């Protein structure tokens, strides 16, 4: 147990690189961008969906898989109607992200580990959350209680359209098919779209969070930075499924 209160359960022999997962720079960029509140509406929608589908007043055990620096876990604690009965956990392969998460939320428990081998007992969780992160179906099935819920957040068709216009000649809408693990069926979904107006530095941070950042050369970066009053559409899909 580190002094900041997190556990590091990623043994050196399971690391494929010295700094697995997102780098410190990526984590910082994401934290600054998220803390500015640009994705808060989505975080509130996650919380509302969790509250709406609660079936018991008993403690609800929730795990954020690939939690990064724990933004969603903090938002859930902040906005839930019954946060006292939430037992919040987060796991990520990036140690610096988990360290930042643990420092900011004493009530939640964070572990450095891979989603491929999650260090929790079978059928412990009521809900697993996956926001823009990889996961492993067999582990999802093992960790969830029977009847447990899986909440996945993915980009909707027009997510970051205006940012992608700087990079691609012909921007294509994202596919929205979501592959659910075996024996899971969808019980709820929600699309959230709105526009954001990040300043030039925040645009750079947002770009860092995307899988297409590497395609932007210096010229494109300058165009994105210098654009006047750039409005960017965000488009999120929340898909809630149940383990039958
Ligand atoms: C795009 S980020 C999303 C982070 C956070 N959910 C968010 O939306 O702000 C993906 C995260 O997954 C983590 N990650 C990548 N591979 C992983 C693995 N095998 N196990 C656990 N986490 C992993 C990365 O370190 C990173 O924090």
Mean residue pLDDT across the chain: 93
63-74 mean pLDDT: 96
CB of 71 sitting under 6 A from ligand 1: yes
Which of ligand 1's atoms lies nearest the C-alpha of 131? 6
CB of 92 sitting under 6 A from ligand 1: yes
Domain count, the chain: 1
9-36 mean pLDDT: 81
Segment 130-168, tens digit of pLDDT: 999 988 999 999 999 999 999 999 999 999 999 999 999
Q: How confident is the model at residue 180 (pLDDT cuts 50, 70, 90)?
A: very high
- Domain hosting 136: range is 7-241
CATH code of the domain containing 227: 3.40.50.150
CB of 144 sitting under 6 A from ligand 1: no
**Pocket of ligand 1, candidates 18, 37, 68: which has the most ligand atoms within 8 Å of its Cβ, to mutate?**
68
Residue 46 domain-assigned (yes or no): yes
CB of 68 sitting under 6 A from ligand 1: yes
Segment 207-220, tens digit of pLDDT: 988 889 889 999 99
CA of 189 to the centre of ligand 1 (A): 22
Residue 95 domain-assigned (yes or no): yes
Three-class HEC string of the chain: CCCCCCEECCCHHHCCCCCCCCCHHHHHHHHHHHHCCCCHHHHHHHHHHHHHCCCCCCCEEEEEECCCCCHHHHHHHHHCCCHHHEEEEEEECCHHHHHHHHHHCCCCEEEECCCCCCCCCCCCEEEEEEECCCCCHHHHHHHEEEEEEEEEEEECCCCCHHHHHHHCCCCCCCCCCCCCCCCEEEEEEEEEEEEECCCHHHHHHHHHCCCCHHHCCHHHHHHHHHCCCCCEEEEEEEEEEEEC
Structure pTM? 0.94
State CA 72 to chain mean position distance: 7
Residue 111 domain-assigned (yes or no): yes
Residue 1 domain-assigned (yes or no): no
Exposed/middle/buried for residue 142 (C-beta within 10 Å: 0-12, 13-18, 19+): middle
State CA 244 to chain mean position distance: 24
Residue 118 domain-assigned (yes or no): yes
Q: How confident is the model at residue 187 (pLDDT cuts 50, 70, 90)?
A: very high
Residue 110 domain-assigned (yes or no): yes
Angle between helices 24-35 and 71-79 (to 10 degrees): 30
């Amino acid at each position: 147990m580190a002094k900041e209160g997190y556990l590091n359960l990623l043994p050196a022999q399971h690391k494929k690189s010295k700094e697995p997962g997102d780098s410190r720079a990526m984590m910082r960029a994401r934290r600054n961008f998220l803390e500015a509140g640009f994705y808060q509406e989505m975080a509130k929608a996650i919380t509302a969906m969790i509250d709406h589908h609660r079936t018991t007043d008993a403690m609800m055990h929730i795990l954020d898989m690939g939690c990064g620096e724990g933004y969603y876990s903090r938002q859930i604690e902040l906005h839930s109607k019954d946060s006292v009965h939430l037992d919040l956990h987060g796991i990520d392969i990036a140690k610096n992200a988990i360290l930042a998460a643990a420092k900011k939320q004493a009530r939640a428990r964070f572990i450095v580990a891979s989603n491929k081998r999650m260090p929790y007992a079978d059928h412990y969780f009521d809900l697993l959350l996956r926001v823009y992160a990889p996961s492993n179906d067999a582990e999802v099935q093992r960790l969830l209680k029977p009847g447990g819920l899986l909440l996945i957040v993915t980009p909707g068709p027009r997510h970051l359209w205006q940012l992608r216009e700087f990079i691609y000649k012909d921007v294509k809408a994202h596919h929205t098919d979501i592959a659910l693990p075996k024996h899971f069926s969808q019980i709820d979904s929600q699309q959230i779209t709105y526009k954001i107006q990040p300043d030039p530095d925040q645009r750079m941070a947002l770009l860092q969070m995307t899988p297409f950042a590497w395609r932007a050369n210096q010229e494109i970066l300058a165009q994105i930075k210098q654009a006047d009053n750039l409005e960017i559409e965000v488009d999120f899909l929340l898909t809630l499924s149940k383990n039958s």
